[in-house]
Structure 1
Amino acid sequence: MNNIQDNHNHKIFIALGSNLGDRKQHLLDAARHIEQRLGLVIKTAGVYEVPAAGFTGGDFLNTCVLVHSHKNAQETIDILQEIECEMGRVPRSGTAYEDRVIDLDIVLFGDQIISTDHLQVPHLRMHERNFVMRPLEDIADKMMHPVLGKSMIELSSHLAPLEKIAGFEIPLSRKRYPIQNLNFIAVEGNIGSGKTSLTHKLSEDFNAKQVLERFADNPFLPLFYEDKERYSFPLEMSFLADRYQQLSDEVAQLDLFKEFTIADYYVIKSLIFSKITLQKEEYSLYKRLFNMMYKELVKPDLYVYLYQTEDRLLENIKKRGRDYEKNIEASYLSKIQQGYADYIRSQQELKIKVIDVTDLDFVNNQEDYLMVLEKILED
């Protein structure tokens, strides 16, 4: 049995059903609540009208959505039950099935097998129910059932067919937050600002090609630590060359299976850090070389700078526990912050969006993540 306490980003397939009141609106409202509290709605199935099963009641509208979320299975079911309660679903009066305003069930939680007193995943009877399998087949036909070892399309092949309702579907989050309309986004920020975490989330949620800064062994780095004055210039030049090469290669090359490119740095980073490290004359030469290389690079459609206070940055750095960062001081972070601020104020070529994330936790709090998406998309 898999552990339900891990914190990785999960692919969660959720079945939605309603047979009371304005059934279509209930499905739309439930999906919006899921987006706001759990994770973005990445895929949506067709909506099917099905007679009530196991009791006498009105016909159900049933569908299924794929959600990306870092929440574990127990946290997920807790959120879904809260949504059900707030939307007016009342607890069963007995053991029999009853009409319901909204019904939300975890059908699959990635490839996890979960068995607790309150939760069984995969759903124990999913493969017997066409109103579960037909929508699931729409968005996960090749996905394997982790217990039965068969694909969703194989499991549904013996079930009675269903007709989709024409002209109605649950909207995808990408329609509400069309990040994918940008060709190239660069995310920058101070050390510990969360730029790589945000880049990773956006790349997963919006099917983007992810470009992460390489941290290959640099032959000048140990020499720099021994003699900073002598080796600062060759070190900064080697970093510049590496960043220029990676951005030239990876950003310029299109990926047919990805919709846009997002990077957790841009070459501007070299200019900011070198100004702190180099002597005045060295920096003057470095900047001339930088400007020549910069002209050749693809420019981002949007340059996002994540701002956090130095105190918050130090907290984040401490939490991730990297040995080579343990001696970073607030004064050094302040210099970097000032360097970015000076550059951003003087920049007229790039479209820049500065987002203050000091009081936001866009990794663990879905509402904060949506707030960042809204900030990115603001005119």
Structure 2
Amino acid sequence: MIILAGMIGVGKTTYTSRIAESLGTQAFFEPVDNNPILDKYYKDPEEYGFALQIYFLNKRFKSIKSAYHQDNNVLDRSIYEDALFTYINTLQGSISQQEYQIYLELLDNMMEEIKGLPKKAPDLLIYLDGSFDHILNNIKKRGRSFEQPTKDNGLMDYYQLLHRNYKDWYENYHYSPKMRIQTDDFDINKPKDWEAVYRMIQQEMSILGIGEN
């Protein structure tokens, strides 16, 4: 199983689709369009912060169990990142310390269940790193109204805090092999750029023996 990681707006959905298509495997996406809580969270994070993280954690666990049925399936976010989002919400006061501890206990229980699956961890984590300006531009271009930062909604502070913490998260990630792709350097809608990116991924997979019979 291959997992994409990276903050909101970095391009995980596009990369996940292209990687799965090239590998001939299945892509598993974060539930956004049919998420009944997400837009409410952006309007009132203190009311919906905890509920949103529990929702994502539950859906992520379900996706992981499904993805393990076939080699090289691709997930567009990892369960290992969920704790980071919950931590950021705790720093901003959207989630209480008590809720945070409940969340961590639930996450620990789920991680124990994952250890019982045929594979204990992903085969490879691909971290998509991008400059803050590049990510903001992506968020603007995809046009989800509830994601757009304004002077009053506090989203700019949230995105900046998340962006700063993601780099430390990646450096400390130790559950599986990992690689970094600097998304500012590539537009994978262009064939040459995608060929370059996919070549990097193939090289890493070859080193790790992923996809070999």
TM-score (norm 1): 0.46
Q: Secondary structure at the match of 1:208?
A: coil
Q: Aligned partners of 2:145, 2:47: CA distance in 1, in Å?
A: 24
Give the counterpart of 2:127 among 296, 305, 308: 305
Q: Aligned partners of 2:113, 2:162: CA distance in 1, in Å?
A: 25
- Structure 2's unaligned 5+ residue stretches are 90-94, 208-213
For residues 50-106 of structure 1, the C-alpha deviation after alignment (integer angstroms, 9 at most, x for no partner) is: xxxxxxxxxxxxxxxxxxxxxxxxxxxxxxxxxxxxxxxxxxxxxxxxxxxxxxxxx
Question: Which protein has the bigger strand share?
Answer: 1
Residue 197, structure 1, aligned to residue 14, structure 2: yes
Residue 186, structure 1, aligned to residue 3, structure 2: yes
Distance change (3 Å), C-alpha of 1:225 and 1:336: closer
Distance change (3 Å), C-alpha of 1:331 and 1:231: closer
Give the counterpart of 2:169 among 343, 361, 377: 343
Correspondence for 2:182: 356
Contact 1:311 / 1:330 at 8 angstroms: preserved in 2? no
Distance change (3 Å), C-alpha of 1:276 and 1:210: same
Quote the offset at 1:235 in angstroms: 2.6
The total of aligned residue pairs comes to 190
Quote the offset at 1:261 in angstroms: 0.7
Residue 320, structure 1, aligned to residue 142, structure 2: yes
Quote the offset at 1:331 in angstroms: 3.0
Residue 291, structure 1, aligned to residue 108, structure 2: yes
Counterpart amino acid of 2:13?
T
Q: Aligned partners of 1:221, 1:359: CA distance in 2, in Å?
A: 30
Q: Aligned partners of 1:336, 1:345: CA distance in 2, in Å?
A: 15
Distance change (3 Å), C-alpha of 1:331 and 1:230: closer
Counterpart amino acid of 1:362?
I
Quote the offset at 1:330 in angstroms: 4.1
Q: Aligned partners of 2:21, 2:80: CA distance in 1, in Å?
A: 25
Give the counterpart of 2:85 among 242, 260, 273: 273
Quote the offset at 1:207 in angstroms: 0.7
Quote the offset at 1:187 in angstroms: 1.0
- Structure 1's unaligned 5+ residue stretches are 1-183
Moved over 4 A (4+): 216-227
Residue 375, structure 1, aligned to residue 200, structure 2: yes
Contact 1:306 / 1:354 at 8 angstroms: preserved in 2? yes
Report % sequence identity.
29
Q: Secondary structure at the match of 1:186?
A: strand
Quote the offset at 1:241 in angstroms: 1.2
Counterpart amino acid of 2:67?
V
Distance change (3 Å), C-alpha of 1:337 and 1:282: same
Quote the offset at 1:228 in angstroms: 3.3
Q: Secondary structure at the match of 1:213?
A: coil
Q: Aligned partners of 1:245, 1:252: CA distance in 2, in Å?
A: 10
> Taking CA–CA contacts closer than 8 Å with sequence separation of 6 or more, which of the two structures ends up with the larger relative contact order?
2
Quote the offset at 1:193 in angstroms: 1.1
1:89-128 residue pairs with structure 2 within 5 A?
Answer: none
TM-score (norm 2): 0.77
1:175-254 residue pairs with structure 2 within 5 A?
Answer: 184-215=1-32, 217-221=34-38, 224=41, 227-248=44-65, 250-254=66-70
Quote the offset at 1:197 in angstroms: 0.9
Residue 261, structure 1, aligned to residue 86, structure 2: no
Distance change (3 Å), C-alpha of 1:369 and 1:294: same
Q: Aligned partners of 2:9, 2:36: CA distance in 1, in Å?
A: 24
Quote the offset at 1:293 in angstroms: 0.6
For residues 13-50 of structure 1, the C-alpha deviation after alignment (integer angstroms, 9 at most, x for no partner) is: xxxxxxxxxxxxxxxxxxxxxxxxxxxxxxxxxxxxxx
Counterpart amino acid of 2:181?
I
Q: Aligned partners of 2:86, 2:15: CA distance in 1, in Å?
A: 25
Q: Secondary structure at the match of 2:10?
A: coil
